[in-house]
């Protein structure tokens, strides 16, 4: 169990490393945004934006948009949305991904649901390699990469499903989880009890060009994190089975579960 916990901790460190690599490449590693006590904005800019909240016009936001938007690309340009609607059948089951199924490490779980019990929010069919990002409370940094095993799953309408085309999926995932990008998403939310950003606003947010060297490093780091996480899950599952076996059949049987003959040292 302790080995599994250590592996989970290592996976978290790898994800944080990928985020640090990307932030540094974008010039945000040691960025000190301006935080003046007061600032002004012209009425023309306010009317064009259709907003009157001071946070939106803060100098730090303007600088951040300038840094991330210097290449003139948007999220839509590099990863257009997948619009593949799900219609529940009269019988059978499907695998469903809800917002609560997203983990803090950039992965998502899914549960099998009867077609007759399909939630009204079960909307999008997702494919392997897609990236899901939550439009609800974006400050929670909830995005995930769809694995090959999750191909054909159904996602909630609370997600935007992105198809990485001009960027590696792992790089897009890391970018969407950067605190500064989530801050920009949060600025575009509406409502107070259930704040959410619209698909249109999210897709229009800037996306900077990432050099091949940085992209390759991030991809390798994120894949390493996911591999370590899978190993941790295997170790914890083995520990659980060993405890159950020890309770039912005795400790000797539990030890055999931990050290099966095929892998036992000679």
Instruction: Encode pLDDT of 179-226 as tens digits.
Output: 999 999 999 898 777 889 999 999 999 999 999 999 999 999 999 999
- What is the edge-to-edge ordering of all strands in the sheet holding 143-145? 143-145, 131-134, 159-162
Residue 262 pLDDT grade (very low, low, confident, very high; cuts 50, 70, 90): low
**Taking Cα atoms as reference points, which of 13, 10, 14, 20 lies closest to residue 214?**
20
> Is residue 264's pLDDT more than 60?
no
Is pLDDT of 14 > 80? Answer: yes
Above pLDDT 90, what percent of the chain? 70
pLDDT band for position 98 (cuts 50, 70, 90): very high
CB 202 within 8 A of CB 75: yes
Q: What is the model's pLDDT at position 109?
A: 92
Mean pLDDT, rounded, for 73-92: 95
pTM: 0.88
Mean pLDDT is lowest, of 29-33, 151-155, 161-165, 237-241, for: 29-33
Domains of the chain: 77-207 (3.90.220.20)
Beta bridge partners of 125: 154
Cβ–Cβ under 8 Å, residues 124 and 157: yes
């Amino acid at each position: 169990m302790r080995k599994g916990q250590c592996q989970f901790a290592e996976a978290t460190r790898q994800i944080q490393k990928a985020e640090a690599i990307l932030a540094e490449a974008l010039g945000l590693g040691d960025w000190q945004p301006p935080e003046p006590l007061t600032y002004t904005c012209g009425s023309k800019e306010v009317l064009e934006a259709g907003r009157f909240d001071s946070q939106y016009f803060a100098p730090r936001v303007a600088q951040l948009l300038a840094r991330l938007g210097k290449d003139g690309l948007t999220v839509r340009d590099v990863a257009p949305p997948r619009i593949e609607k799900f219609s529940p059948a009269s019988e059978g089951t499907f695998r469903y991904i809800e917002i609560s199924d997203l983990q803090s490490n950039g992965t998502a779980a899914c549960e099998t649901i009867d077609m007759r019990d399909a939630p009204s929010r079960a909307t999008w069919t997702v494919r392997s390699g897609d990236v899901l990002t939550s439009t609800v409370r974006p400050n929670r940094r909830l995005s995930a990469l769809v694995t090959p095993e999750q191909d054909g799953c159904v996602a909630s309408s609370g997600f935007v499903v992105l198809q990485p085309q001009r960027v590696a999926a792992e790089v897009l995932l890391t970018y969407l989880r950067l605190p500064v990008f989530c801050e920009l998403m949060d600025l575009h939310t509406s409502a107070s009890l259930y704040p959410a950003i619209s698909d249109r606003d999210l897709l229009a947010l800037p996306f900077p060009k990432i050099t091949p060297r940085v992209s390759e490093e991030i991809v390798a780091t994120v894949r390493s994190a996911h591999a370590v996480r899978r190993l941790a899950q295997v170790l914890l599952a083995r520990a659980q089975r060993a405890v159950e076996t020890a309770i039912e059949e005795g400790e000797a049987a539990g030890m055999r579960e931990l050290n099966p003959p095929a892998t036992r040292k000679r």
